[in-house]
Amino acid sequence: MPKYYGCPCEGCGQPLTLRDDIVVCPDCGAPYHRTCYEKLGRCIHSPAHAAGYEWKFPYQENELRTCPSCGERTLRSEEHCRCCGAKLPPEGAEQPNDRAEEEQNFDYASFYRQFEEGNVPDPLKEAYQAAFGKEEQMDGISCKDWNAYIGRSAPSYMTTYSRMELTHSKIAMSFSALLFGPFYFFYRKAWKPAFGFLFAELLLSAPYFIDMLQITGSSLSPGLSNSALLMLSRVCSFLGFLLMVLRGMYGKWLYRKSAAARIRRIQNEFPDAEQRRAVLSAQGGTSLAAVFGSLALLFVLGSAFTLLLGPNMQALLDIVSG
Protein backbone atom coordinates (compact mmCIF):
# COMPACT_ATOMS: atom_id res chain seq x y z
CA MET A 1 0.00 0.00 0.00
CA PRO A 2 1.17 3.62 -0.46
CA LYS A 3 3.40 4.62 2.40
CA TYR A 4 2.34 8.24 2.89
CA TYR A 5 -1.23 8.87 1.70
CA GLY A 6 -3.47 9.32 4.74
CA CYS A 7 -0.54 9.70 7.14
CA PRO A 8 -0.23 12.94 9.14
CA CYS A 9 2.25 15.53 7.88
CA GLU A 10 5.15 15.68 10.33
CA GLY A 11 4.98 19.47 10.14
CA CYS A 12 1.30 20.38 10.58
CA GLY A 13 -0.26 17.03 11.53
CA GLN A 14 -2.91 17.18 8.77
CA PRO A 15 -3.47 14.05 6.62
CA LEU A 16 -1.50 13.81 3.38
CA THR A 17 -4.00 13.43 0.51
CA LEU A 18 -3.73 12.39 -3.13
CA ARG A 19 -3.91 16.06 -4.11
CA ASP A 20 -0.99 17.17 -1.92
CA ASP A 21 2.57 17.81 -3.06
CA ILE A 22 4.43 15.46 -0.71
CA VAL A 23 8.14 15.60 0.11
CA VAL A 24 10.04 13.06 2.17
CA CYS A 25 13.07 13.53 4.37
CA PRO A 26 15.97 11.78 2.60
CA ASP A 27 17.53 10.75 5.92
CA CYS A 28 14.64 9.24 7.91
CA GLY A 29 11.73 9.02 5.43
CA ALA A 30 9.35 11.33 7.34
CA PRO A 31 6.62 12.79 5.04
CA TYR A 32 5.63 16.48 4.82
CA HIS A 33 3.55 18.83 2.76
CA ARG A 34 6.07 20.65 0.58
CA THR A 35 4.98 24.00 2.03
CA CYS A 36 5.39 22.70 5.58
CA TYR A 37 8.87 21.33 4.88
CA GLU A 38 9.96 24.56 3.21
CA LYS A 39 8.58 26.58 6.13
CA LEU A 40 10.47 24.45 8.67
CA GLY A 41 13.61 24.43 6.58
CA ARG A 42 14.61 20.97 7.80
CA CYS A 43 13.20 17.71 9.14
CA ILE A 44 11.91 17.97 12.72
CA HIS A 45 13.69 14.69 13.46
CA SER A 46 17.10 15.92 12.29
CA PRO A 47 18.61 15.84 15.82
CA ALA A 48 17.92 12.09 15.90
CA HIS A 49 19.26 11.32 12.42
CA ALA A 50 22.77 10.72 13.68
CA ALA A 51 21.42 8.05 16.01
CA GLY A 52 19.78 6.22 13.09
CA TYR A 53 16.18 7.39 13.54
CA GLU A 54 13.78 6.08 10.86
CA TRP A 55 10.17 7.19 10.37
CA LYS A 56 7.66 4.35 10.69
CA PHE A 57 4.13 4.01 9.33
CA PRO A 58 1.91 5.23 12.22
CA TYR A 59 -1.06 2.85 11.84
CA GLN A 60 -1.63 -0.86 12.37
CA GLU A 61 -3.32 -2.95 9.70
CA ASN A 62 -6.41 -3.50 11.84
CA GLU A 63 -6.93 0.29 11.98
CA LEU A 64 -7.21 0.56 8.19
CA ARG A 65 -9.75 -0.15 5.46
CA THR A 66 -9.75 0.33 1.67
CA CYS A 67 -11.52 3.39 0.28
CA PRO A 68 -13.91 2.31 -2.54
CA SER A 69 -13.44 5.66 -4.32
CA CYS A 70 -9.65 5.91 -4.65
CA GLY A 71 -8.51 2.39 -3.69
CA GLU A 72 -6.08 3.64 -1.04
CA ARG A 73 -5.89 2.54 2.60
CA THR A 74 -7.47 4.90 5.11
CA LEU A 75 -8.51 4.89 8.79
CA ARG A 76 -11.64 2.87 9.48
CA SER A 77 -12.49 5.15 12.42
CA GLU A 78 -13.19 8.18 10.20
CA GLU A 79 -16.22 8.99 8.03
CA HIS A 80 -14.22 10.39 5.10
CA CYS A 81 -11.20 8.96 3.33
CA ARG A 82 -8.00 10.68 4.43
CA CYS A 83 -6.54 10.18 0.94
CA CYS A 84 -9.24 11.52 -1.42
CA GLY A 85 -11.89 12.98 0.91
CA ALA A 86 -14.75 10.78 -0.31
CA LYS A 87 -17.42 9.72 2.19
CA LEU A 88 -16.85 6.15 3.33
CA PRO A 89 -19.80 3.72 3.21
CA PRO A 90 -20.59 1.68 6.32
CA GLU A 91 -18.31 -1.30 6.73
CA GLY A 92 -19.94 -4.59 5.85
CA ALA A 93 -22.15 -2.98 3.20
CA GLU A 94 -20.11 -4.84 0.60
CA GLN A 95 -18.69 -8.22 1.52
CA PRO A 96 -15.61 -9.39 -0.42
CA ASN A 97 -17.13 -12.84 -0.84
CA ASP A 98 -20.08 -11.35 -2.72
CA ARG A 99 -17.96 -9.61 -5.39
CA ALA A 100 -18.01 -12.45 -7.93
CA GLU A 101 -21.81 -12.73 -7.76
CA GLU A 102 -22.23 -8.94 -8.03
CA GLU A 103 -19.92 -8.74 -11.05
CA GLN A 104 -21.81 -11.60 -12.71
CA ASN A 105 -25.17 -9.86 -12.21
CA PHE A 106 -23.91 -6.34 -13.00
CA ASP A 107 -25.99 -4.49 -15.60
CA TYR A 108 -23.30 -3.04 -17.86
CA ALA A 109 -25.85 -1.68 -20.35
CA SER A 110 -27.43 0.42 -17.61
CA PHE A 111 -24.00 1.48 -16.36
CA TYR A 112 -22.91 2.82 -19.75
CA ARG A 113 -26.32 4.41 -20.33
CA GLN A 114 -25.88 6.39 -17.11
CA PHE A 115 -22.53 7.63 -18.38
CA GLU A 116 -23.98 8.64 -21.74
CA GLU A 117 -26.69 10.58 -19.93
CA GLY A 118 -24.13 12.15 -17.59
CA ASN A 119 -25.54 10.46 -14.47
CA VAL A 120 -22.29 9.15 -13.03
CA PRO A 121 -22.96 6.52 -10.33
CA ASP A 122 -21.29 6.58 -6.93
CA PRO A 123 -18.53 6.13 -5.90
CA LEU A 124 -17.18 7.39 -9.25
CA LYS A 125 -19.08 10.65 -8.84
CA GLU A 126 -17.33 11.27 -5.54
CA ALA A 127 -13.97 10.42 -7.09
CA TYR A 128 -14.60 12.85 -9.97
CA GLN A 129 -15.59 15.60 -7.57
CA ALA A 130 -12.47 14.95 -5.49
CA ALA A 131 -10.33 15.21 -8.62
CA PHE A 132 -12.08 17.96 -10.62
CA GLY A 133 -14.16 19.85 -8.05
CA LYS A 134 -17.89 20.02 -7.44
CA GLU A 135 -18.53 21.19 -11.01
CA GLU A 136 -16.89 17.97 -12.29
CA GLN A 137 -15.02 19.82 -15.02
CA MET A 138 -11.80 18.47 -16.48
CA ASP A 139 -9.72 20.93 -18.53
CA GLY A 140 -12.71 23.28 -18.39
CA ILE A 141 -15.03 20.66 -19.96
CA SER A 142 -17.99 19.11 -18.17
CA CYS A 143 -18.09 15.42 -17.34
CA LYS A 144 -21.17 15.01 -19.57
CA ASP A 145 -19.34 16.37 -22.62
CA TRP A 146 -16.35 14.10 -21.95
CA ASN A 147 -18.63 11.08 -21.66
CA ALA A 148 -20.39 11.96 -24.92
CA TYR A 149 -17.09 12.35 -26.77
CA ILE A 150 -15.19 9.32 -25.42
CA GLY A 151 -18.15 6.95 -25.78
CA ARG A 152 -18.40 3.48 -24.26
CA SER A 153 -14.88 3.61 -22.85
CA ALA A 154 -15.67 6.74 -20.83
CA PRO A 155 -15.81 4.99 -17.39
CA SER A 156 -12.31 3.56 -17.83
CA TYR A 157 -10.75 6.76 -19.21
CA MET A 158 -12.43 9.09 -16.73
CA THR A 159 -11.35 6.93 -13.81
CA THR A 160 -7.78 6.99 -15.12
CA TYR A 161 -7.90 10.76 -15.61
CA SER A 162 -9.23 11.19 -12.07
CA ARG A 163 -6.24 9.29 -10.71
CA MET A 164 -3.86 11.35 -12.89
CA GLU A 165 -5.42 14.57 -11.62
CA LEU A 166 -5.26 13.54 -7.97
CA THR A 167 -1.63 12.44 -8.22
CA HIS A 168 -0.58 15.41 -10.42
CA SER A 169 0.81 13.00 -13.00
CA LYS A 170 0.71 12.74 -16.78
CA ILE A 171 1.68 9.07 -16.73
CA ALA A 172 -0.90 6.31 -17.11
CA MET A 173 0.25 3.15 -18.87
CA SER A 174 -1.66 2.35 -22.06
CA PHE A 175 -0.75 -1.06 -23.45
CA SER A 176 -2.79 -0.31 -26.57
CA ALA A 177 -0.61 2.72 -27.34
CA LEU A 178 2.51 0.75 -26.40
CA LEU A 179 1.78 -2.21 -28.69
CA PHE A 180 -0.16 -0.66 -31.58
CA GLY A 181 1.71 2.62 -31.86
CA PRO A 182 0.19 5.28 -34.13
CA PHE A 183 -2.79 3.02 -34.90
CA TYR A 184 -4.05 3.46 -31.32
CA PHE A 185 -4.32 7.22 -31.89
CA PHE A 186 -5.93 6.79 -35.31
CA TYR A 187 -8.47 4.46 -33.69
CA ARG A 188 -9.26 7.06 -31.02
CA LYS A 189 -9.31 9.94 -33.59
CA ALA A 190 -6.39 11.74 -31.95
CA TRP A 191 -5.02 13.05 -35.24
CA LYS A 192 -2.01 15.13 -34.16
CA PRO A 193 -0.30 12.41 -32.09
CA ALA A 194 -1.37 9.81 -34.68
CA PHE A 195 0.41 11.52 -37.58
CA GLY A 196 3.26 12.62 -35.32
CA PHE A 197 4.06 9.08 -34.19
CA LEU A 198 3.56 7.74 -37.73
CA PHE A 199 6.09 10.26 -39.07
CA ALA A 200 8.52 9.37 -36.25
CA GLU A 201 8.20 5.65 -37.02
CA LEU A 202 8.94 6.29 -40.70
CA LEU A 203 11.89 8.49 -39.81
CA LEU A 204 13.37 5.83 -37.54
CA SER A 205 13.07 3.33 -40.41
CA ALA A 206 15.55 5.39 -42.43
CA PRO A 207 18.42 2.82 -42.08
CA TYR A 208 16.21 0.13 -43.63
CA PHE A 209 15.28 2.39 -46.57
CA ILE A 210 18.91 3.46 -47.11
CA ASP A 211 19.98 -0.18 -47.10
CA MET A 212 17.40 -0.99 -49.80
CA LEU A 213 18.63 1.93 -51.93
CA GLN A 214 22.22 0.73 -51.65
CA ILE A 215 21.38 -2.89 -52.45
CA THR A 216 19.50 -1.96 -55.62
CA GLY A 217 22.19 0.50 -56.70
CA SER A 218 19.96 3.57 -56.65
CA SER A 219 21.52 6.88 -57.66
CA LEU A 220 19.72 8.44 -54.67
CA SER A 221 21.57 6.24 -52.20
CA PRO A 222 23.65 8.30 -49.72
CA GLY A 223 27.33 7.44 -49.53
CA LEU A 224 27.32 5.73 -46.14
CA SER A 225 29.80 3.00 -45.26
CA ASN A 226 28.56 -0.29 -43.82
CA SER A 227 29.90 0.63 -40.39
CA ALA A 228 28.16 4.03 -40.45
CA LEU A 229 24.89 2.43 -41.58
CA LEU A 230 25.18 -0.17 -38.82
CA MET A 231 25.73 2.55 -36.20
CA LEU A 232 22.75 4.53 -37.55
CA SER A 233 20.61 1.40 -37.42
CA ARG A 234 21.51 0.79 -33.76
CA VAL A 235 20.79 4.39 -32.80
CA CYS A 236 17.40 4.27 -34.55
CA SER A 237 16.56 0.95 -32.87
CA PHE A 238 17.28 2.45 -29.44
CA LEU A 239 15.25 5.57 -30.23
CA GLY A 240 12.42 3.38 -31.51
CA PHE A 241 12.34 1.46 -28.23
CA LEU A 242 12.41 4.71 -26.24
CA LEU A 243 9.59 6.10 -28.38
CA MET A 244 7.52 2.97 -27.76
CA VAL A 245 7.95 3.25 -23.97
CA LEU A 246 7.10 6.97 -23.93
CA ARG A 247 4.07 6.32 -26.14
CA GLY A 248 2.79 3.73 -23.69
CA MET A 249 3.39 5.96 -20.66
CA TYR A 250 1.90 9.17 -22.07
CA GLY A 251 -0.59 7.78 -24.62
CA LYS A 252 -3.69 8.44 -22.51
CA TRP A 253 -2.50 11.93 -21.61
CA LEU A 254 -1.91 12.75 -25.30
CA TYR A 255 -5.39 11.44 -26.13
CA ARG A 256 -6.82 13.62 -23.36
CA LYS A 257 -5.18 16.76 -24.77
CA SER A 258 -6.25 15.96 -28.33
CA ALA A 259 -9.83 15.22 -27.24
CA ALA A 260 -10.03 18.39 -25.12
CA ALA A 261 -9.02 20.55 -28.09
CA ARG A 262 -11.70 19.00 -30.34
CA ILE A 263 -14.38 19.24 -27.64
CA ARG A 264 -13.67 22.95 -27.14
CA ARG A 265 -14.02 23.60 -30.88
CA ILE A 266 -17.35 21.79 -30.90
CA GLN A 267 -18.49 23.70 -27.79
CA ASN A 268 -17.79 27.00 -29.56
CA GLU A 269 -19.75 25.92 -32.64
CA PHE A 270 -22.69 24.29 -30.84
CA PRO A 271 -23.69 26.15 -27.64
CA ASP A 272 -26.92 24.15 -27.31
CA ALA A 273 -26.15 21.25 -24.93
CA GLU A 274 -28.35 18.62 -26.59
CA GLN A 275 -27.14 19.41 -30.09
CA ARG A 276 -23.53 19.64 -28.90
CA ARG A 277 -23.56 16.18 -27.31
CA ALA A 278 -25.02 14.68 -30.44
CA VAL A 279 -22.11 16.15 -32.41
CA LEU A 280 -19.62 15.03 -29.75
CA SER A 281 -20.92 11.47 -29.98
CA ALA A 282 -20.67 11.53 -33.78
CA GLN A 283 -17.19 13.05 -33.98
CA GLY A 284 -15.76 11.27 -30.94
CA GLY A 285 -15.60 7.61 -30.02
CA THR A 286 -13.48 5.30 -32.14
CA SER A 287 -12.91 4.67 -35.86
CA LEU A 288 -11.77 1.45 -37.52
CA ALA A 289 -11.97 3.31 -40.84
CA ALA A 290 -9.18 5.61 -39.66
CA VAL A 291 -6.99 2.58 -38.87
CA PHE A 292 -7.56 1.08 -42.32
CA GLY A 293 -7.00 4.50 -43.85
CA SER A 294 -3.60 4.78 -42.13
CA LEU A 295 -2.67 1.31 -43.39
CA ALA A 296 -3.68 2.36 -46.92
CA LEU A 297 -1.50 5.48 -46.54
CA LEU A 298 1.48 3.33 -45.58
CA PHE A 299 0.84 1.10 -48.59
CA VAL A 300 0.81 4.14 -50.91
CA LEU A 301 4.02 5.49 -49.36
CA GLY A 302 5.66 2.07 -49.72
CA SER A 303 4.64 1.87 -53.37
CA ALA A 304 6.00 5.37 -53.99
CA PHE A 305 9.30 4.41 -52.37
CA THR A 306 9.78 1.52 -54.78
CA LEU A 307 10.00 4.11 -57.57
CA LEU A 308 13.21 5.37 -55.98
CA LEU A 309 14.94 1.98 -56.00
CA GLY A 310 17.79 1.28 -58.41
CA PRO A 311 17.90 -1.10 -61.38
CA ASN A 312 19.40 -4.03 -59.46
CA MET A 313 16.10 -5.34 -58.09
CA GLN A 314 17.28 -8.93 -58.45
CA ALA A 315 19.83 -8.44 -55.66
CA LEU A 316 17.02 -7.32 -53.34
CA LEU A 317 14.85 -10.26 -54.34
CA ASP A 318 17.73 -12.69 -53.72
CA ILE A 319 18.16 -11.32 -50.18
CA VAL A 320 14.42 -11.51 -49.46
CA SER A 321 14.08 -15.04 -50.82
CA GLY A 322 17.34 -16.36 -49.46
Highest mean pLDDT among 3-17, 108-122, 171-185: 171-185
Q: What's the rounded Cα separation, in Å, for the pair 132 and 139?
A: 9
Instruction: Give tens-digit pLDDT for 166-199.
Output: 788 899 899 999 999 999 999 999 999 999 999 9
Place 98 in a pLDDT band, splitting at 50, 70 and 90.
Answer: very low
Within a 10 A sphere around the Cβ of 197, how many other Cβ atoms? Answer: 24
Backbone angles phi, psi at 87, to 5 degrees: -70, 135
141-164 pLDDT tens trace: 888 889 889 988 888 888 888 888
User: What is the pTM (predicted TM-score) of this model?
Assistant: 0.63
Question: What is the total residue count of the chain?
Answer: 322
Query: Over the stretch 267-293, which tens digit does the pLDDT of each residue have?
Result: 999 988 888 888 998 999 999 999 999
